[in-house]
Amino acid sequence: MNKSVIRVGIIGAGNVGGALVALLRDPTRREALLDAATGPIELVGVAVRDVAKRRKDVPNDLLTSDAAGLVGLDGLDILVELAGGLKPARGYIETALRHGVSVVTANKALMAECGTELAQLAHQNGADLFYEAAVGGGVPILRALRTSLAGERIDRVMGIVNGTTNFILSKMTSEGSDYASALKEAQALGYAEADPSADVEGYDAAAKVQILSSLAFGTALQGEEIFRQGINGVRSVDVDFAHRSGYVIKLLGIAERVGESGISRRAHPAMIPVDHPLASVNGAMNAVFVEGVRSGPLMWLGQGAGGEPTATAVLGDLLDAARNRFSGRHDVPFTVDTSLQSVPYGELESVFYISIDVLDRPGVLAAVAGIFGDNGVSIQSMEQSGFGDEARLAFLTHMAVADRANATVKALAQHPSVDRIGACIRVIDGGRA
Amino acid sequence: MNKSVIRVGIIGAGNVGGALVALLRDPTRREALLDAATGPIELVGVAVRDVAKRRKDVPNDLLTSDAAGLVGLDGLDILVELAGGLKPARGYIETALRHGVSVVTANKALMAECGTELAQLAHQNGADLFYEAAVGGGVPILRALRTSLAGERIDRVMGIVNGTTNFILSKMTSEGSDYASALKEAQALGYAEADPSADVEGYDAAAKVQILSSLAFGTALQGEEIFRQGINGVRSVDVDFAHRSGYVIKLLGIAERVGESGISRRAHPAMIPVDHPLASVNGAMNAVFVEGVRSGPLMWLGQGAGGEPTATAVLGDLLDAARNRFSGRHDVPFTVDTSLQSVPYGELESVFYISIDVLDRPGVLAAVAGIFGDNGVSIQSMEQSGFGDEARLAFLTHMAVADRANATVKALAQHPSVDRIGACIRVIDGGRA
């Protein structure tokens, strides 16, 4: 044993930070923590912006406004970064790692931006960098990928990793709400921000996909843009169509192998069969579905957000890092697999659901069908419903390359009888998507 | 680093052992294994009963019929026990642990019988004892309880941990099969043994509950009998009733806190709401649902059996043990919480579904209702369906103590107008059950 006690500093005392401090100071859990960490943990300070603000879980004598001072504290073993954002979090983390201090963070944006670099910095300095809470809140999926599945060849990771959009889509599905009112309700309940774009446009899910992919496939974390489609274009009619056809619409973050050396990472709404394990993951819950060559399908489900669930995930990391400290070791970070090539979204095949509003005139359907044919997209089924002078056409295509489906949609939009393009949503059925 | 290579011996080369050897020898995974173990793993021998038998995954020069010799081999680091059963597996494991050799096993019967003793033996000799594959096949739930949830206070663990019974109940639910023909189909497909009693009578699930409970709550593993009710009494009419009432019948293994210092462990069929995450776990899949005070609900889902999925779980343990070996440490086993008292099944409260066949005569319902009342069980709802001279009565009770529900059933069975007691099944709705 190199150490007799592990000294921990925390940056940020919001919902997660406060809950973490409460967990660490809970007298009924003291013995369990001691066992799990294999020794005592001492909380040396909590850096916050406003030390004057009263906090129910954090005693005043632990508070400091000097985050840089806390990070540079002599004898610090573990830094827990819960401030979020790229700056100044990145600087604090880099300083800590350079001093050999292990870091636990929930910062998905930062990890997606420069996680590979930070992981290497940690490794070079004999420190750990853990970030379980960056994906899926309280769902311990990252540790499972790092440890339980370390020897497994994974084919696909597919997750409901954004609680806000899952809440909205669940409302639209279960109560027939339209997108705008479901969003408003999510905002009223605190599930969605006043500016919901990071969630509803898929940015948050895309960052989480990159983190999942790095652990499942060894793709680098370095701020790469991946394909992203939000849920703001999803309408009640699409949800209804999905329901009638045995599907549910979910915003999925997907990372999957394509052929021998290709990898696709993306976040977009998709129709999945109603009996798929992900289909019944509702409300603000998160779940990650993993397909391994040997393990077969696996799924993890839990609370995707919230102070206490997320703090539980942070605590799991903290205990891991403490155990390692006590035994004078650190975990080796994931190896970047440079042989994997990103496959552009446009080259991926899928069944597509395409819905359009057209003028209800003779000959329109033939013209529309012609456009599908001209673009090499074959139609599997069509449903027509009339309303006034207009008709809504909903198509399911056969397997088609995304570029061709997009070209079809573009050509449809230019046709004089087409009033409006509704949605173009991938359908995931059976194997690939 | 104390070691330059980790030497591994395996006892048993059936489905799981063969798949494990294939995983360890797969050239495309060599680098991933090296990274995950933090060093090379050498497979030194595989002990089998019949060395003459041809095995596709295990080269002949690794085979030996001398299991005791393999266990006693000088310089052995990790023993993987996949033979199953209490004898001679227990002796091999004890010998290995006494020599400081870490043990990975999938032996649920042995762990339920004497796991606490074996874990202490491991700890005293500086060795690890891991048994992920003993519960849930390929589902990595035990590691999550050991690590990710180490700091969490868990309230309840509830799992579908027996694939055979889940297959049978799923068939009865989805296809309206009766119990006998669903069992026959499970046997034809190799999901059920010729003598299916270990599965259908709940013995297997009960052993798994004890293992889950030891990690979630610190209950001792020492061959204690826990309450067990099989699925052999479940009829199609019960499945139909459940469906009409918004429930699904599942065989659940449950460990939960009762009050401040009580613990209940049991395995029995139960009706759960159709929108509960466990309700859509079908076929031979396994899933474990965990309710933590801070984490909220969490669920793990995956293949409950099969050589390759189970071998993946064994490999996860093996890599953990190898990492520990390379860094000269071992995990501390769970601490037995001696303050927890087992609460007898009869004292637990629940809503009960009770179904009986009665002679269709005037006054019978009043008599039957009287029996419920005499035993202090209050009726929530009743459904009557007639067939010929008989009628079937299906009751849902209000919350009642199990002893009273059982006394009611006993008294009903003695009433002259009651032809037959159908089922007495707990209903799990909302919080407790």
The per-residue pLDDT for A136 is 93
User: Which residue of chain B comes nearest to A277, CA vs CA?
Assistant: B280
Task: Report CB contact under 8 Å: B296, A319.
Answer: no
Across residues B320-342, what is the average pLDDT? Answer: 90
CATH of residue A359: 3.30.70.260
Tell me the nearest-neighbour CA distance from A106 into chain B, angstroms.
15
CATH of residue B281: 3.30.360.10
Q: Which three-class secondary structure state does DSSP give residue B96?
A: helix
Tell me the nearest-neighbour CA distance from B180 into chain A, angstroms.
26
- Asked whether A171 and A182 are in contact (CB, 8 A), the reply is yes
Say yes or no to pLDDT of B433 above 50: no
Q: Is residue A143 part of a domain?
A: no
Same domain for A281 and A381, yes or no, is no
Neighbours of A1 (CB within 10 A): 10
Same domain for A156 and A243, yes or no, is yes
CB contact, 8 Å: B17 with chain A?
Answer: no
Task: Report CB contact under 8 Å: A29, B295.
Answer: no
List chain B residues with CB under 8 Å of A144: 140, 143-144
Of B277, B292, B316, the CB nearest to A301: B277
Q: What is the spatial order of strands in the sheet that B78-81 belongs to?
A: B63-64, B41-47, B6-11, B78-81, B102-105, B129-130
Say yes or no to pLDDT of A281 above 70: yes
ipTM value: 0.86
Place of tokens 């009273």: B404
CB contact, 8 Å: A36 with chain B?
Answer: yes
Among B108, B171, B208, B250, the one annotated catalytic: B208
Q: Is residue B334 part of a domain?
A: no
Same domain for A313 and A298, yes or no, is no
Task: Report CB contact under 8 Å: A151, B23.
Answer: yes
CATH of residue A131: 3.40.50.720
Same domain for A287 and A180, yes or no, is yes
User: Which residue of chain A comes nearest to B260, CA vs CA?
Assistant: A28
- Asked whether A300 and A139 are in contact (CB, 8 A), the reply is yes
> How many A×B Cβ pairs under 8 Å?
186
pLDDT band for position A88 (cuts 50, 70, 90):
very high
Task: Report CB contact under 8 Å: A319, B292.
Answer: no
pLDDT band for position B2 (cuts 50, 70, 90):
low
pLDDT in tens, A23-78: 999 998 888 898 888 899 999 999 999 999 989 999 999 999 999 999 999 999 99
* Phi, psi (rounded to 5 degrees) for B122: -60, -50
Amino acid B298 reads L
pLDDT in tens, B230-275: 999 999 999 999 999 999 999 999 999 999 899 999 999 999 999 8
The predicted model scores a pTM of 0.91
* Phi, psi (rounded to 5 degrees) for B346: -60, -20
Tell me the CA distances in angstroms from B213 to B101, B334, B342, one per residue in order.
Answer: 26, 11, 11
Same domain for A61 and A169, yes or no, is no
CA-CA distance, B134 to B111, in Å (whole number)? Answer: 8
Task: Report CB contact under 8 Å: B150, A319.
Answer: yes
* Phi, psi (rounded to 5 degrees) for A315: -65, -40
Q: Which three-class secondary structure state does DSSP give residue A227?
A: strand
- Asked whether A377 and A424 are in contact (CB, 8 A), the reply is no
> For residue A411, what is the enclosing H or E element?
helix A402-414
Say yes or no to pLDDT of A382 above 70: yes
Q: Is residue B151 part of a domain?
A: yes
Q: Say which DSSP state A321 is in.
A: H
Same domain for B111 and B165, yes or no, is no
* Phi, psi (rounded to 5 degrees) for B267: -135, 125
Q: How many residues does chain A have?
A: 433
Amino acid B356 reads I
Q: Say which DSSP state B376 is in.
A: T
Q: Please, which residues bridge with residue B297 across strands?
A: B291
Cis amide linkage into residue B196, ω under 30° from 0: no
Q: Which three-class secondary structure state does DSSP give residue B203?
A: helix
Which of B124-128, B190-194, B201-205, B385-389 shows the lowest mean pLDDT across its residues? B385-389
Q: How many residues does chain B have?
A: 433
> In total, how many domains does chain B have?
3
Residue A398 tokens, joined: 């056969």
Best interface-test mutation with B: which of A15, A152, A323, A339 has the largest number of B CBs within 10 A?
Answer: A152
CB contact, 8 Å: B57 with chain A?
Answer: no
CB contact, 8 Å: A123 with chain B?
Answer: no
pLDDT band for position B430 (cuts 50, 70, 90):
low
Q: Is residue A42 part of a domain?
A: yes
CB contact, 8 Å: A32 with chain B?
Answer: yes
Across residues A360-385, what is the average pLDDT? Answer: 93
Say yes or no to pLDDT of B3 above 90: no
Q: Is residue A46 part of a domain?
A: yes
The per-residue pLDDT for B147 is 87
Task: Report CB contact under 8 Å: B301, A299.
Answer: yes
Measured at the CA of A364, the angle between CA A363 and CA A369, to 5 degrees, comes to 105
CA-CA distance, A280 to A64, in Å (whole number)? Answer: 44
pLDDT in tens, B166-210: 999 999 999 999 999 999 999 999 889 999 999 999 999 999 999
Q: Which three-class secondary structure state does DSSP give residue A103?
A: strand
Alpha-helical runs (H) found in A155-306: 163-175, 179-188, 197-200, 203-217, 236-244
Same domain for B315 and B409, yes or no, is no
The per-residue pLDDT for B123 is 96
B217's CB contacts (< 8 A; 6+ apart) are B154, B255, B257, B263, B337, B340
pLDDT in tens, B35-76: 888 899 999 999 999 999 989 999 999 999 999 999 999 999
Q: What is the CA radius of gyration of chain B?
A: 24
Tell me the CA distances in angstroms from B375 to B351, B371, B381, B405, one per residue in order.
Answer: 15, 6, 17, 8
Same domain for A91 and A165, yes or no, is no
CB contact, 8 Å: A272 with chain B?
Answer: no
Task: Report CB contact under 8 Å: B300, A295.
Answer: no
Q: Which three-class secondary structure state does DSSP give residue B194?
A: coil
Measured at the CA of B68, the angle between CA B67 and CA B70, to 5 degrees, comes to 65
Q: Is residue A401 part of a domain?
A: yes
CB contact, 8 Å: A349 with chain B?
Answer: no
The per-residue pLDDT for A431 is 47
CA-CA distance, B201 to B230, in Å (whole number)? Answer: 4
Place of tokens 């709802």: B381
Same domain for A162 and A296, yes or no, is yes
Same domain for A113 and A178, yes or no, is no
CA-CA distance, B335 to B70, in Å (whole number)? Answer: 31
The per-residue pLDDT for B431 is 47
CA-CA distance, B352 to A173, in Å (whole number)? Answer: 32
Tell me the nearest-neighbour CA distance from B145 into chain A, angstroms.
10
Domain closes at, from A261, A291, A326: A326
CB contact, 8 Å: B280 with chain A?
Answer: yes
Of A38, A287, A294, the CB nearest to B312: A294
User: Which residue of chain A comes nearest to B140, CA vs CA?
Assistant: A148
- Asked whether A120 and A128 are in contact (CB, 8 A), the reply is no
pLDDT band for position A293 (cuts 50, 70, 90):
very high
Q: What is the CA radius of gyration of chain A?
A: 24
Same domain for B148 and B218, yes or no, is yes
Give the rounded percent of residues in chain B with a pLDDT score beyond 90: 85
- Mean residue pLDDT of chain A comes to 94
List chain B residues with CB under 8 Å of A286: none
| Closest by Cα among B159, B269, B279, B147 to B211 | B159
Q: Is residue A1 part of a domain?
A: no
CA B1 to chain centre: 37
pLDDT in tens, A180-193: 999 999 999 988 99
3-state percent breakdown (helix, strand, coil) of chain A, nearest 5: 40, 25, 35
A356's CB contacts (< 8 A; 6+ apart) are A368, A392, A393, A412, A418, A419, A420, A421, A422
Neighbours of A103 (CB within 10 A): 26
* Full domain range(s) for residue B229: 143-303
| Closest by Cα among A128, A142, A148, A144 to A321 | A128
The per-residue pLDDT for A179 is 96
Neighbours of A153 (CB within 10 A): 18
Same domain for A111 and A206, yes or no, is no
Q: Is residue A132 part of a domain?
A: yes
Say yes or no to pLDDT of A7 above 60: yes
Let me know if B234 is exposed, middle or buried by CB neighbors in 10 A (0-12, 13-18, 19+): buried
- Asked whether B96 and B88 are in contact (CB, 8 A), the reply is no
CB contact, 8 Å: B297 with chain A?
Answer: yes
